[in-house]
Amino acid sequence: MKSSYVLVFLACALGLVHIVMSGGGDHSHDCSLPPDNGYSCSSEMGSSGEMGSSADSETAYYFVIEDSMCYPFQYYGCGGNTNRFNDSTFCETYCLLQGAARPLLEQ
């Protein structure tokens, strides 16, 4: 009975590692980029950096290599870069498994 729990746990862990390493099924992420709020998709001049209102934004997360952590920021829906995650746990798991964190000896 105990061994079946261990096997289920290992299968789940391997599945999570596979999902994280494959980018979660969407696009790949670059954990080294600075946060980029993007621009409002409803803005005609969005590519010029016009931000839009806070009603147009949603909370996203970006990874900071120096801290080995993810932090929230406001994303306006269009543009931006690939250091953007919908979930802080996935952000940290993905970037740490990608080797984006600084080694503990350097911190």
- Of the candidate CATH numbers 4.10.410.10, 3.40.630.30, 3.10.20.740, 3.40.50.720, the domain formed by 29-106 belongs to 4.10.410.10
C-beta of residue 71 within 8 angstroms of C-beta of residue 64 = yes
Tokens of 54: 């806070």
Give φ, ψ of 62 to 5 degrees. -130, 150
> What are the pLDDT digits (tens) for 44-99?
554 445 555 566 799 999 999 999 999 999 999 999 999 999 999 999 999 999 98
pTM equals 0.64
Residue 97 structure tokens: 């498994």
- For 5-24, the pLDDT digits (tens) are 555 555 545 555 445 444 44
Length of the chain: 107
